[in-house]
Amino acid sequence: MLMKHFLLISLAALIGLMTYGTSFGAGSSDNDDSSSTEMVDVDYLNGKEEAYNGNYRAAIVYLKKSIENNPESADSYNLLGYSNRKLGNNEEAFTYYNKALEIDPRHKGTHEYLGKLYLNLKQPENAKKHLAKLDSICFFGCEEYTSLKEAIDGYGKNGTYRKY
Q: 13-17, 38-42, 134-138, 150-154 — which is least confidently predicted? A: 13-17
Same domain, 44 and 85: yes
Taking the C-alpha atoms of residue 43 and residue 64, their distance in angstroms, rounded to an integer, is 8
Say what the pLDDT of residue 161 is: 60
User: So what's the pLDDT on residue 60?
Assistant: 98
The answer as to whether 31 is a domain residue is: no
In a domain, 29, yes or no: no
Residues 6 or more apart in contact with residue 112 via CB below 8 angstroms: 29, 130, 134, 144, 145, 147, 148
CA distances from 38 to 45, 68, 101, 133 (A): 14, 17, 22, 29
Residues 98 and 121 in one domain: no
Same domain, 68 and 116: no
Identify the band that residue 19 occupies on the pLDDT scale cut at 50, 70 and 90: very low
Residues 18-47, mean pLDDT to the nearest whole number: 59
What CATH number is attached to the domain comprising 68? 1.25.40.10
- Residue 109 has a pLDDT of 98
Per residue in 101-152, pLDDT (tens digit) is: 999 999 999 999 999 999 999 999 999 999 999 999 998 889 999 999 999 9
Q: Please tell me the predicted confidence (pLDDT) of residue 50.
A: 98
Q: Answer yes or no: are the C-beta atoms of 101 and 129 closer than 8 Å.
A: no
Question: Total structural domains in the chain?
Answer: 2
Q: Does position 3 have pLDDT exceeding 90, yes or no?
A: no
* Residues spanned by the domain of 51: 39-104
Amino acid at 99: K
Average pLDDT over residues 84-100: 98
Q: Are 67 and 100 in contact (CB under 8 A)?
A: no
Yes or no: say if 41 and 70 are a contact pair by the CB < 8 Å rule. yes
Do 115 and 92 share a structural domain? no
138 domain-assigned: yes
